[in-house]
Amino acid sequence: MSNFLNQIPALPVGDAVEKVMDLFTNTFSTVFKFIQTDGTALMDSVTNLLISIPPIIFILLVAILAFFATGKKFGLAIFSIIGLLFIYNQQLWEQLMNTFTLVLFASIVAIIIGIPLGILMSKSTLADNIIKPILDFMQTMPGFVYLIPAVAFFGIGVVPGVFASVIFALPPTVRFTNLGIRQVSKELVEAADSYGSTGLQKLLKVELPIAKSTIMAGINQTVLLSLSMVVIASMIGAPGLGREVLSALQRAQVGNGFVAGISLVIFAIIVDRLTQSLNKKSI
């Protein structure tokens, strides 16, 4: 049996993927170049803008936002002030702002792509059947693998970092949007139909408002996943806290690694609680 198996030559899957990638890279090189140059310029200017805000004002803004977003409770606001002051004190402020920009862009792009895809899947069984396995594939493929095409397409720096993060973080938004809309009760949809609402009205006035909390939960997951990926993206030159973590790892500096790691945790908690609190709002 094993003899028979050994007679099958190794299928050239890897070579085929390389060829397709090369074709892709060459065909769309102008588009990629454009996205890379303009994307980098845009993100750099956002980062510079964030850095130019005096940290103390930035921290107070976050605290005020946290205070009102969490229903006038002091918990998260105080945590934000202490946490962000700690990051500033450890001279990681600039890195934090870089990471913030990356997460912001990756999340926005993932949401812009993800919600329409989710709506499409909820409306069409065919799309659902096609996209589901692709999402499974995206979520189970190790995140590091996305760094390879990202470099081929967009070189090094912030843009390939966002590209890899979007692929990695997209699925929850798509899945939860799909799920949320599919869970809207049939009676309500029928009622909307009987009032003669158009498909678009039904979507905007009935389905999306009812599915909102599920969709927001998906977005929250996407934001956190993109945060974990922008750290890995530092391997291809994305700046930010991830670079500090990687450098500490490569140089085996426990202390630096811990400080950068804890800064990421603080940032993640603030982002997580803020996006969750948006979800609790009464509509």
Partner 1 sequence: MRKRNYLLSSIAIGASLLLAACGGGSSSEKDDSLGKINLAYVEWDTEIASTHVVGQVLEDIGYDVSLTPLDNAIMWEAVSKGEADAMVAGWLPATHAAQLEKYGDNLVNLGENLSGAKIGLVVPSYMDVNSIADLKDEAGSTITGIEPGAGIMMATEKALEEYPNLNSWSLLPSSSGAMTVALKQAIANEEDIIVTGWSPHWKFASYDLKYLEDPQGVFGGEETINTFVSTKLEEKAPEAYKVLDAFHWTADDMEKVMLEINDGKKPKDAAADWIKENQDIVKQWTADVK
Query: Could you list the residues that contact partner 1 (CB under 8 A)?
Result: 45, 48-49, 51-53, 57, 61, 64-65, 68-69, 71-72, 151, 155-157, 234-237, 243, 246-253, 281-282
| Identity of the residue, 69 or 92, whose beta carbon is nearer to partner 1 in the bound complex | 69
The DSSP result for 184-234, as a single string, is S-HHHHHHHHHTT--HHHIIIIIIHHHHHHHHHHHHHHHHHHHHHHHHHGG
| Identity of the residue, 41 or 141, whose beta carbon is nearer to partner 1 in the bound complex | 41
Q: Residue 18 gets which letter from DSSP?
A: H
Q: How far is the CB of 149 from partner 1 (least distance, A)?
A: 13
| Identity of the residue, 115 or 246, whose beta carbon is nearer to partner 1 in the bound complex | 246
Q: How far is the CB of 195 from partner 1 (least distance, A)?
A: 26
| Identity of the residue, 153 or 267, whose beta carbon is nearer to partner 1 in the bound complex | 153
Q: How far is the CB of 178 from partner 1 (least distance, A)?
A: 27
Distance CA 46, CA 58 (A): 14
Q: Do 149 and 35 meet the contact criterion of CB atoms below 8 Å apart? A: no
Contacts of 116 (CB under 8 A, 6+ apart): none
| Identity of the residue, 197 or 276, whose beta carbon is nearer to partner 1 in the bound complex | 276
Q: How far is the CB of 10 from partner 1 (least distance, A)?
A: 19
Angle at 206 between CA 202 and CA 208, to 5 degrees: 100
Q: How far is the CB of 147 from partner 1 (least distance, A)?
A: 8
Distance CA 138, CA 129 (A): 15
Q: How far is the CB of 57 from partner 1 (least distance, A)?
A: 6
Contacts of 233 (CB under 8 A, 6+ apart): 102, 147, 150, 160, 161, 162, 164, 165, 242
Count CB atoms within 10 A of the CB of residue 88. 17
| Identity of the residue, 178 or 277, whose beta carbon is nearer to partner 1 in the bound complex | 277
